[in-house]
Structure 1
């Protein structure tokens, strides 16, 4: 692909399903110039907090700014790495523990570029995209604002 990709919609409501992930993988079988895929799935943990166990995370974002930042990350990744395809999906709304909230799918002719691009993209998302996570604690209705680590 050439530089100057069309912006893609990143946000999805609720958890990212295993079926969505598998359909994404299957849709790339016809692209025979791909030699490697790297997939990152961010899953919600049931961490122990002062008020109880995390039961999920409620995500919100400054969507317009976040979509712009996601697009800039995609463009930079295509400039830095030899990539064939790159897809990023992030949840908005409530995602229960055990479910997926971030799906990064990188394809390239060779594995090294796929691995390196995947790590770069995830780190850039965590550092720069204005997404806010509110950890939901137990049945109490308590919450903590999550740090992006």
Structure 2
């Protein structure tokens, strides 16, 4: 997805699931860009890039793994590419299941897997001069 993930996109995604009456729980994770303080100023955004084919393969493997480990009804993963300003959403994970425990556990598992296995890279835009610094994942 190019640029930030809008609140309207998240709302529309939720609305599309109202007709799926076998779902009893949704877990939603939204990764938002923080204005962290760095040596040269505050982060004003993150520019995301990816090895897209490899990233899609990694997302597919994470989806398959999550469906085999947890009793899920459906799952959606969206990660931004391009510039995402502070305060905006760059990662949207939406997991649905019949019961809350599976949704909660799967959501945490999926986010952890994305952070460690998907080749998406972020350069933080820092300070008034707009210098780019490679982002380190925590």
TM-score normalized with structure 2 length: 0.99
Say whether 1:15 aligns with 2:4. yes
Q: Secondary structure at the match of 1:121?
A: helix
Paired residues, number: 138
Give structure 1 regions of 4+ aligned residues with deviation exceeding 3 angstroms: none
Which residue is 1:62 aligned to? 51
Structure 1: runs of 5+ lacking an equivalent: 1-11
Q: Secondary structure at the match of 2:108?
A: helix
Match for residue 128 of structure 2 among 133, 136, 139 = 139
Say whether 1:73 aligns with 2:62. yes
TM-score normalized with structure 1 length: 0.92
Cα deviation 1:18-58 (Å, max 9, x = unaligned): 00000000000000000000000000000000010000000
Cα deviation 1:76-129 (Å, max 9, x = unaligned): 000000000100000000000000000000000000000000000000000110
Say whether 1:113 aligns with 2:91. no
Which residue is 1:148 aligned to? 137
Q: Secondary structure at the match of 1:87?
A: strand
Supply the RMSD in Å over aligned alpha carbons. Answer: 0.5
Per the TM alignment, residue 141 of structure 1 is displaced from its structure 2 partner at its CA by 2.3
Per the TM alignment, residue 139 of structure 1 is displaced from its structure 2 partner at its CA by 2.4
Q: Secondary structure at the match of 2:22?
A: coil
Per the TM alignment, residue 14 of structure 1 is displaced from its structure 2 partner at its CA by 0.1
Distance 1:85 1:101 in 2: 21
Q: Secondary structure at the match of 2:72?
A: coil
Q: Secondary structure at the match of 2:9?
A: helix
Distance 2:116 2:98 in 1: 28
Match for residue 103 of structure 1 among 75, 81, 92 = 92
